[in-house]
Structure 1
Amino acid sequence: MTSTLPAVTTPKVPARRRPAPRTGAHRRPEPPSRLRSSRSDLLLCGVLLVAILVVQGWNIADYPALSDDEGTYLAQAWSVQQGNGLAHYTYWYDHPPLGWIQIAVLTWIPALISPESMTVGTMRAVMLVISGISAVLVYVLGRRLALPRWAAGLGMVFFGLSPLAVVLQREIFLDNLAVMWTLLAFTLAASPSRHLWHHFGAGIAAATAVLTKETMLIVLPALFLTMWRHSHKDTRKFALTGAVTACALIGFSYPLFALLKGELLPGTGHVSLWDGVKYQMTRPGSGFILDQGSGSWGVLQSWLYYDRILPLGGLAGALLLLVTWRWSVTARALAGPALAVAIFAALALRPNGYLPAMYVIQALPFLALVLAGGTASVAHGVLSRWRSEAEKRYVSVGRYTLATVLALAAGAYVVPHWYDGARTAVTTDANAPYQAASTWLATEVENPERTRVLVDDALWLDLVHHGYRPGLGVIWFYKADLDPAVTKTMPRGWKDLDYVVASPTVRRDAADLPNVKAAMEHSDPVATFGTGEDRIEIRQIQTSAGGAR
């Protein structure tokens, strides 16, 4: 007899209900798909990029007025191209040289084709490359930080089309290069794929930013916060350790360079990196930024003159995100940029810190992102009220209605202010006096190779191309008092000079430079270009009551 075992049946277990997706502020945003495969993202980013390049590129050589710092960095880049060392003057350790090495690379082909084009006004065009890359990185970073497409585009607009950005991003400043590398570091740190090499790359990009402009060190805490939030918990220790190690090893290359040259610490007969750092850390402060009449207050007013929306709106956006951090997904996603804005604001509010005019350049991308993120957070908060089943069908309509209303309201305030700033940037010729002075010195001075003239660095390369001897014939005016290699060629001081080009920068700083001050006092103007405080005077040195030297 064959016995049959009862069939084994699996008891029915009630299907496990999958939790409904969370909505509102508690929903964790999903990383966007690869942007290069998203036509909508590519189209929006491409259109905005074209607009930014057109606005920033139009009239770029003529506005704003040439800066002495621009001339310094371009002259150092020229020195690299000529094989004359890392700088055209080496009487002290300046910023790390990687910044102007990059400028030398960017300007190498134009200078090779047309050597006389290696001047500040003409070479500003290469900054469009940096601005374009940075603007795209702002958009990509915004999307990786879970901003909706329209908000990432808004951040790109704030970063690239604010009149403050248009003016400052045109100029040949190391800060613009450092911002590009910093944005690359944040973009890699926020990579949705979370590959270890992305975090190693973020550390390398961060070190490159610091070696371009050392003040980018202050952004590293915000970068590592972003990396912590976007790294996988299983590999987080490896990711952060690798990023910190890569950043430190590359960052210490500059002190190692000084050590190998025997110039790390002060000593007799040589310059030192320590003296350069000490100068940067102990330079006289410009006063409290909220103290009217201080130098810092004047810098703040110069920023707000061009645009109040991005600086003040960005600070408000950062405050909103930091306050709502615990219950807002958008705030948590933008924690890194919000922390960066907080750090920049805290340092600017030091009671007697030094605040340079280009300081705000480093904060611009983070101000733009948190302002766009704050706008997205407010919009999301309004939309999140429509949660009932009966109202679901109206959410889509409400989203577009709200977006339209907000866009019209913001446009009514922003567009007129930005239009005035952009119109000034694309129509004003602020550099005609410089161009006229350069032409006069090229055509009216006999034997330029035997003539010695003090100039600011904005004109230094112009005169080199006109035949003046670099370092001996055409002298950056600071060096007439501060560089031993130059002062030893001037045994009679100011009497060994022929001309001084009194630009606004030279007139402002001459009081602290004895040779320059004496040259100004013992000279007569032979040509004047422009009027008022912006005029440029070409003054011929008078060594006796009888006339010129």
Structure 2
Amino acid sequence: MTSTLPAAATPTAPAQRPTAPENLSARLTGPFLRGSRPDLILCAALLTAILLVQGWNIAAYPALSDDEGTYLAQAWAVQQGKGLAHYTYWYDHPPLGWIQIALLTWVPAHLDPSLMTVGSMRLAMLLVSAASAVLLYVLARRLSLPRRAAGLAMVLFGLSPLSVVLQREIFLDNIAVTWMLLAFCLAASPSRHLWHHFGAGLAAATAVLTKETMLVVLPALFVTMWRHGHRDTRKFALTGAVTACVLIGTAYPLFALLKGELLPGGGHVSLWEGITYQMSRPGSGFVLERGTGAYGVLRSWLYYDRILPLGGLAGALLLLVTFRRSVTARALAGPALAVAILALVALRPSGYLPAMYVVQALPFLALVLAGGAASVAHAVLRGRRAAQESARVTWGRRGLAAVLVVAAGSYVVPRWYDGDRTAVTADANAPYRAASSWLRTEVKDPEDTRVLVDDGLWLDLVHDGYRPGLGAIWFYKADLDPAVTRTLPRGWKDLDYVVASPTVRRDAADLPNVKAAIEHSTPVATFGTGEDRIEIRRIGGTGDTRDINGTTTTARSGGGR
């Protein structure tokens, strides 16, 4: 079933009508591949550069995060048939995200289980980055951006230092972005098939079930679908897309209902408790107020790259202001609206702003920045009447455009070069690798040793023989999971080691068992320096302490209980 209608009321003469094969080819390929060897060559070349930069040194930079370890450990649990999580599953994020991670990492984990660690499995994110980059190029072309602007959007999205750092990490947001870009590509389909719009609804629901924060982008998707649908069928197409999205989206609460875990009750977790927890989390403060957590997150984004976030915001503002006067602005109304919504959500003084929040904005920032640049370039080069322009005016406009391009390049390239060079050369995870090696070689009886550790190292310990959940214990669970606290009747006294990584030290203040374990322990090995150091602390012992350079001080080293 299709909603394709003639583009004009006047019938096309038979001599001008494309032949059946040509028409079929055009309908299947759309503007991305129509006449399109240059598109394929450009997209392939840029994709190669993106994968090289993002893949080089991927295991060593940036530093492992506890969120990455959590999602990968949950994926490991799915692969092992242990349920939806490596501990008691509670309704934090929908499980579809790490189920997809389990699928992405299944082959390498099956071939060599020891590869199922955060550093190694970051390589799986290259597949996600490649899919997102190609879909972004397709979307840019379907939104009528010229080839050079589509290429610029792809470069901005894939090679910005901010993108390189965040897209390397095993975040649900990166997978959700891929699904949302697919939804936008289907919504902007030039053939206007109704199944494309239904497919957009399905892809959008999958994005939301991968990371629920993608819900705020749905209005922008529906605006894109409305603008690119045919006026005679757009209402039906939009209704179908919304229906498909809602039906798939209700799968998560239906799952909770069938398990008897929709509402709070004795002896089980509930979806309602998960929602109230998310809604009641302490806010990060106003993002523009110095000293707040949100301001610190903003500074961390701008530390890696100012061009994409600030330029994208400026591009979105330009497109929204010139909506009625610019063809480009009308074509990019959906992405510009997505940037505006995401910015407004981030500006909530009482909201919680995680560091990975910007991930879902990256493709839309890249699109509107590239579109805004294309619009400005077109305005510079355009004459009032081409037929009346003199050669001097024409070359003057071209010269001005060239000067603008050179100026932009001279500002962007050095900054991106420094940021990307750090990403492909720095080693931020040497302390983690050294700590993992120490726990593998120095602890003589891992099966009878109990270690509090963050999830960045949890799978390393499991592969090294520590019992999952009983020997290698995700530090949050020592205080928050009754299934774990029951195995620790004496609390911190039943533990042997605590691996005090930056994450553990930061969050220990709110976790009594973890805090007491650190206070009643002595470092036996320290790796790294300053705030980024990782301390392996023996609970209640003394002996030799060794740092990553081999220096020895007083502490105790060795063995389990």
Letter of the 1:334 counterpart: L
Contact 1:36 1:42 in 2 (8 A): no
Equivalent residue, structure 2, for 1:353: 351
Which SS does the other structure have where 2:287 is aligned?
coil
Q: Distance in 2 between matches of 1:476 and 1:87?
A: 12
Q: Distance in 2 between matches of 1:429 and 1:56?
A: 14
Cα distance change of structure 1 residues 396 and 119 upon mapping to structure 2, 3 Å threshold:
farther
Which SS does the other structure have where 1:533 is aligned?
helix
Q: How does 1:128-143 map to 2 (within 5 A)?
A: 128-143=126-141
Deviations 1:222-278 (A, max 9, x none): 000000000111111221111011100000001000000000000111100000011
**Displacement of 1:391:** 2.1
Which SS does the other structure have where 2:173 is aligned?
helix
Does 2:228 match 1:230? yes
Contact 2:187 2:221 in 1 (8 A): yes
Contact 2:68 2:456 in 1 (8 A): yes
**Displacement of 1:180:** 0.3
Equivalent residue, structure 2, for 1:9: none
Letter of the 2:352 counterpart: Y
Deviations 1:64-102 (A, max 9, x none): 000000000000000000000011112521200000000
Which SS does the other structure have where 1:136 is aligned?
helix
**Displacement of 1:407:** 2.3
Q: How does 1:6-155 map to 2 (within 5 A)?
A: 33-35=31-33, 37-155=35-153
Q: Distance in 2 between matches of 1:137 and 1:214?
A: 21
**Displacement of 1:293:** 0.5
Letter of the 2:297 counterpart: V
Cα distance change of structure 1 residues 421 and 527 upon mapping to structure 2, 3 Å threshold:
same
Letter of the 2:367 counterpart: L
Q: Distance in 2 between matches of 1:144 and 1:396?
A: 29
Equivalent residue, structure 2, for 1:462: 460
Equivalent residue, structure 1, for 2:184: 186
Equivalent residue, structure 2, for 1:443: 441
**Runs of 5+ unmatched residues, structure 2:** 1-28, 544-554
Contact 2:261 2:268 in 1 (8 A): yes
Q: Distance in 1 between matches of 2:388 and 2:217?
A: 47
**Displacement of 1:380:** 1.3
Aligned positions, number: 519
Contact 1:91 1:485 in 2 (8 A): no
Which SS does the other structure have where 1:524 is aligned?
strand
Cα distance change of structure 1 residues 89 and 169 upon mapping to structure 2, 3 Å threshold:
same
Equivalent residue, structure 2, for 1:304: 302
Letter of the 1:222 counterpart: A
**Normalising by the residue count of structure 2, what TM-score does the alignment of the two structures yield?**
0.90
Contact 1:211 1:251 in 2 (8 A): yes
Contact 1:91 1:484 in 2 (8 A): no
The counterpart of 2:263, out of the listed 265, 286, 305, is 265
Letter of the 2:369 counterpart: L
Cα distance change of structure 1 residues 253 and 399 upon mapping to structure 2, 3 Å threshold:
farther
Cα distance change of structure 1 residues 181 and 91 upon mapping to structure 2, 3 Å threshold:
closer
Q: Distance in 2 between matches of 1:299 and 1:96?
A: 24
The counterpart of 1:278, out of the listed 266, 276, 279, is 276
**Displacement of 1:388:** 4.0
**Displacement of 1:393:** 7.0
Equivalent residue, structure 2, for 1:171: 169
Letter of the 1:140 counterpart: V
Equivalent residue, structure 2, for 1:15: none
**Displacement of 1:543:** 7.8
Q: Distance in 2 between matches of 1:335 and 1:419?
A: 32
Q: How does 1:191-202 map to 2 (within 5 A)?
A: 191-202=189-200
**Displacement of 1:191:** 0.6
Does 2:259 match 1:246? no
Deviations 1:362-383 (A, max 9, x none): 0000000000011111111122
Letter of the 2:471 counterpart: G
**Displacement of 1:351:** 1.3
Contact 1:175 1:362 in 2 (8 A): yes
CA RMSD, Structure 1 to Structure 2 (Å): 1.8
Equivalent residue, structure 2, for 1:24: none
Contact 1:265 1:273 in 2 (8 A): yes
Equivalent residue, structure 2, for 1:371: 369
Letter of the 1:70 counterpart: E
Cα distance change of structure 1 residues 307 and 261 upon mapping to structure 2, 3 Å threshold:
same
Equivalent residue, structure 2, for 1:13: none
Bigger shift: 234-243 or 353-362? 234-243
Q: Distance in 1 between matches of 2:527 and 2:131?
A: 37
Letter of the 2:171 counterpart: F
Letter of the 1:459 counterpart: L
The counterpart of 1:536, out of the listed 530, 534, 543, is 534
Deviations 1:188-215 (A, max 9, x none): 0001110101100000000000000001
Deviations 1:513-537 (A, max 9, x none): 0000000000000001011100000
Does 2:474 match 1:476? yes
**Displacement of 1:400:** 5.7
**Displacement of 1:409:** 1.2
Cα distance change of structure 1 residues 220 and 398 upon mapping to structure 2, 3 Å threshold:
farther
Letter of the 2:402 counterpart: T
Equivalent residue, structure 2, for 1:208: 206
Cα distance change of structure 1 residues 544 and 64 upon mapping to structure 2, 3 Å threshold:
closer
Q: Distance in 2 between matches of 1:398 and 1:359?
A: 43
Letter of the 1:107 counterpart: T
**Displacement of 1:538:** 0.3
Q: Distance in 1 between matches of 2:106 and 2:392?
A: 58
Q: Distance in 2 between matches of 1:304 and 1:131?
A: 21
Letter of the 1:170 counterpart: R
**Displacement of 1:178:** 0.2
Contact 1:70 1:173 in 2 (8 A): yes
Deviations 1:441-481 (A, max 9, x none): 00000110110000000000000000000000000000000
Which SS does the other structure have where 2:31 is aligned?
coil
Q: Distance in 2 between matches of 1:544 and 1:530?
A: 21
Which SS does the other structure have where 1:358 is aligned?
helix
Bigger shift: 373-382 or 469-478? 373-382
Q: Distance in 2 between matches of 1:447 and 1:386?
A: 81
Equivalent residue, structure 1, for 2:490: 492
**Displacement of 1:34:** 4.5
Q: Distance in 2 between matches of 1:84 and 1:394?
A: 73
**Normalising by the residue count of structure 1, what TM-score does the alignment of the two structures yield?**
0.92
Contact 2:286 2:349 in 1 (8 A): yes
Which SS does the other structure have where 2:355 is aligned?
coil
Which SS does the other structure have where 1:83 is aligned?
coil
**Displacement of 1:385:** 2.7
Q: Distance in 2 between matches of 1:84 and 1:471?
A: 12
Cα distance change of structure 1 residues 395 and 451 upon mapping to structure 2, 3 Å threshold:
farther
Contact 1:495 1:543 in 2 (8 A): no
**Runs of 5+ unmatched residues, structure 1:** 1-30
The structure with more radius of gyration: 1
Cα distance change of structure 1 residues 91 and 131 upon mapping to structure 2, 3 Å threshold:
closer
**Displacement of 1:390:** 2.9
Cα distance change of structure 1 residues 229 and 544 upon mapping to structure 2, 3 Å threshold:
same
